[in-house]
Amino acid sequence: MLNKSIMDGDNPDLTEERMKGAFDTDKMAAVIYGSEKFAIRRREITESISRIPQLADSKPFSFMTREEKISESCRKLSVLSEHWNQLIDTNNEEEALHLYREVLGLEGHAFSLHETMFIPSLVAQANDEQQEKWLGRAKRREIIGCYAQTEMGHGTNLRALETTATYYPSTQEFILHTPTETALKWWPGALGKSSNYAVVVADLVIRDTHYGAHPFMVQLRDEKTHNPLPGITVGDIGPKMAFNGADNGFLGFNQYKLPRDHMLMRHSRVEENGTYTKPPHAKIGYSSMVKVRSRMAMDQGLFMVSALVIAVRYSAVRRQGFLDDKSREVKVLDYQTQQHRLFPSIARAYAFIFCGFETIQLYDQLLIDVKNGDTSGMSDLHALTSGLKSVVTHQTGEGIEQARMACGGHGYSMASYISEIYGVAIGGCTYEGENMVMLLQLARYLVKSVELVKTGKSKELGPMMNYLAEPDTQIDLTSGPEAYVKVFQHAARRQVWKATDKFHQLMESGQSRDIAWNNSAVELTRASRLHTRLYIMETFIRRVSSISDVSIKKVLIDLVNVHVNYEVLDIGTYALEHVSSTQLDSIRSQLYSSLDTLRPNAVSLIDSFQISDMQLRSVLGRRDGHVYTNLFEWAKASPLNQTHVLPSVNQYLKPMMDKAKL
């Protein structure tokens, strides 16, 4: 059996799809998740979870209030605490994240930031003694932490954060203070009600000198009573577009005293007498953000996959309209428009996940290098992850929204759960740096790279930048995916140079650097996007070329073909400089035939992600494909259907109608 999801009693339309798949989904899972070992561990963890009934949702999540969602996730976390060690290797971050996703889904929970930013901040920023004191406690979950940086008035411009941490040598303490309303910390996940500790980012002040944003370990709540400590104002910021299982919070300090050794001092130090030692790299304190950004291609890829699992499975059981055979309606997955809506997103999701593996490894390596005193890789990774987080979050949002529309009316129902996935995923366009701002961070790096080429220093170009120094060449589109890489290189190079030239010309015309930058910003963000999409394409092709299993490689090459054709058409306006409109027409034909080629493997390609029904929380995306019966059951469970006559009918509608009858 090639597709391991085939089960007796499943919807025959889905079974038929799974029989058509030309590759082994377990083998594909090993490629997706980086190794056979981890793919097996994922399945084992999912299997073990299913044997613990208390870890199941106590009722459909979509019918819960926000308070119920928070309570439900806390209940599950307490059940999990009895099983951690038997379920996962607690030192393995990927296993922990898989466990959280399976049991708690994506709407956030009390530990949302504990694993993703609080512990990583301690790992990267705390010195050995501080790690000794707090890291073990955090890993054992004796304490719950979050990452409190953003303020009501400033999130993007970290240099303008208003919260101060003023050091007093006489008492060897910092005083944390919130000088204005806009200085209130605002947004940190799990801050409002769950966390009792936080890594707080504040402006370090010593003897009236401001040293800028630095991280501090701060206790917020009493460990016995969970009440806020004196001098701390903390609470929940209220409901959000999505992610409502998380208590994103506000936090204020009123002259709150903090011992000297609570500043995280791996890289910068404040001595007892107030002497300040600066870090080896000015932006080393920003590392927790780089850590999350380096994960975002993977995490967003998985968000997009969740929506695609739902849309592709549903499209294989949804029958509507006719093609040749007028005796039976077709699966909507057979329509070319449906394939065009969904398959390029499947390709992007695979590509994002392969990029994600690469950037996660790059971050892990950087962490080792920095510990050994080598900060030289920081700028490269900052630039790469800034562009990548911006492009993947935007394209993931587009892909999920198309997946929702591809499910027609039922896609709009919470029974599909796609709107929730969209709401959570789209937050990524904003958190960890607003997308435009992060594209402009990459643009700084691109402009500097062009300046190196212009001044004859091409040898100093960073990784992935050499193409900026290369001349345009003839492109032979029949020579395979590499030709499409060339098209992207041409388009990206031209746009990067064009934007840089514009910036330089504006400065030469007398504009200040900042004004010239602002007046070139749209062109600069375009350059960043093209450069990042080139990186994604190259990574995808490189990863697929490295695969040895013949059947897996074949279907992934089909997916690469969908990707490269779609991407080049999508940047048609830029590509036109290098590709004729006749060539674009031929790319269009190739795209349509590549959709056709991929069609038989569509369900197996998304089954391969092995996302459980528990995690998916979608009636439309059920693995067994029994959509209609369960849709009816789901609707019957609506709180509105627990009584025939609602109190509001008796109170308002009936009297109104009765009055109208008089």
Ligand X SMILES: Cc1cc2nc3c(=O)[nH]c(=O)nc-3n(C[C@H](O)[C@H](O)[C@H](O)COP(=O)(O)OP(=O)(O)OC[C@H]3O[C@@H](n4cnc5c(N)ncnc54)[C@H](O)[C@@H]3O)c2cc1C
106 binding partner (options ligand LV4UQ37V, ligand X, none; Cβ < 5 to 8 Å by kind): ligand LV4UQ37V
Is 150 a known ligand-binding residue?
yes
Q: Work out how close the CB of 462 gets to ligand LV4UQ37V at its nearest, in angstroms, rounded to a whole number.
A: 11
283 binding partner (options ligand LV4UQ37V, ligand X, none; Cβ < 5 to 8 Å by kind): ligand LV4UQ37V
436 binding partner (options ligand LV4UQ37V, ligand X, none; Cβ < 5 to 8 Å by kind): ligand X
444 binding partner (options ligand LV4UQ37V, ligand X, none; Cβ < 5 to 8 Å by kind): ligand LV4UQ37V
Stretch that binds ligand X, among 186-194, 222-230, 398-406, 628-636 (CB under 6 A): 186-194
Pick the closest to residue 263 from 247, 277, 246 (CA basis).
277
432 is catalytic: yes
CB 228 within 8 A of CB 189: no
Task: State the Cα torsion 228-230-232-237 to the nearest 10°.
Answer: 40
Tell which one of 21, 120, 145, 188 touches ligand X (CB under 6 A): 188
Residue 510 burial (C-beta neighbours within 10 Å; 0-12, 13-18, 19+): exposed
52 binding partner (options ligand LV4UQ37V, ligand X, none; Cβ < 5 to 8 Å by kind): none
User: H/E element holding 211?
Assistant: strand 209-219
Q: Work out how close the CB of 77 gets to ligand LV4UQ37V at its nearest, in angstroms, rounded to a whole number.
A: 15
d(CA 503, CA 523): 9
**Encoding tokens for residue 646?**
């609602």
Stretch that binds ligand X, among 126-134, 185-193, 302-310, 574-582 (CB under 6 A): 185-193
Tell which one of 100, 187, 350, 467 touches ligand X (CB under 6 A): 187
Is 189 a known ligand-binding residue?
yes
Give the footprint of ligand X on residues 79-118 (CB under 6 A): 113
Q: Rounded to 5 degrees, what are φ and ψ at 536?
A: -60, -45
- How many residues bind to ligand X according to rule CB under 6 A? 21
Stretch that binds ligand X, among 165-173, 314-322, 397-405, 424-432 (CB under 6 A): 424-432
Residue 277 β-bridge partners: 269
Pick the closest to residue 11 from 608, 606, 623, 607 (CA basis).
623
Amino acid identity, residue 271? E
Q: Work out how close the CB of 440 gets to ligand X at its nearest, in angstroms, rounded to a whole number.
A: 6
User: H/E element holding 210?
Assistant: strand 209-219
416: Cβ–Cβ under 8 A, 6 or more apart, which residues? 310, 314, 404, 407, 410, 618, 619, 620, 621
Stretch that binds ligand X, among 149-157, 296-304, 466-474, 537-545 (CB under 6 A): 149-157
d(CA 561, CA 557): 6
- Residue written as token pair 């799809």: 17
The residues of the shown chain that bind ligand LV4UQ37V, judged by CB under 6 A, are: 101, 106, 112, 116-117, 147, 149-150, 155-159, 189, 283, 286, 289-290, 292, 299, 302-303, 378-379, 382, 431-433, 437, 441, 444
In 84-151, which ranges are continuous DSSP H helix?
84-87, 93-104, 112-113, 119-125, 128-139
User: ∠ at Cα 532 (529, 537), nearest 5°?
Assistant: 125
Q: Is residue 183 near ligand X by the rule CB under 6 A?
A: no
Q: Is residue 147 near ligand X by the rule CB under 6 A?
A: yes
Task: State the Cα torsion 361-363-369-373 to the nearest 10°.
Answer: 180
Q: Work out how close the CB of 549 gets to ligand LV4UQ37V at its nearest, in angstroms, rounded to a whole number.
A: 26
Q: Work out how close the CB of 112 gets to ligand LV4UQ37V at its nearest, in angstroms, rounded to a whole number.
A: 5
Q: Is residue 430 near ligand X by the rule CB under 6 A?
A: yes
286 binding partner (options ligand LV4UQ37V, ligand X, none; Cβ < 5 to 8 Å by kind): ligand LV4UQ37V
Judged by CB, which is closer to ligand LV4UQ37V: 174, or 286? 286
d(CA 651, CA 334): 50
What letter does residue 330 receive in the DSSP assignment? P
- Residues forming contacts to ligand X in the complex (CB under 6 A) are 113, 147-150, 154-156, 187-189, 243, 248, 427, 430-431, 433-434, 436-437, 440
Catalytic residues: 432
Q: Binding site residues for FAD, as ranges?
A: 150, 189
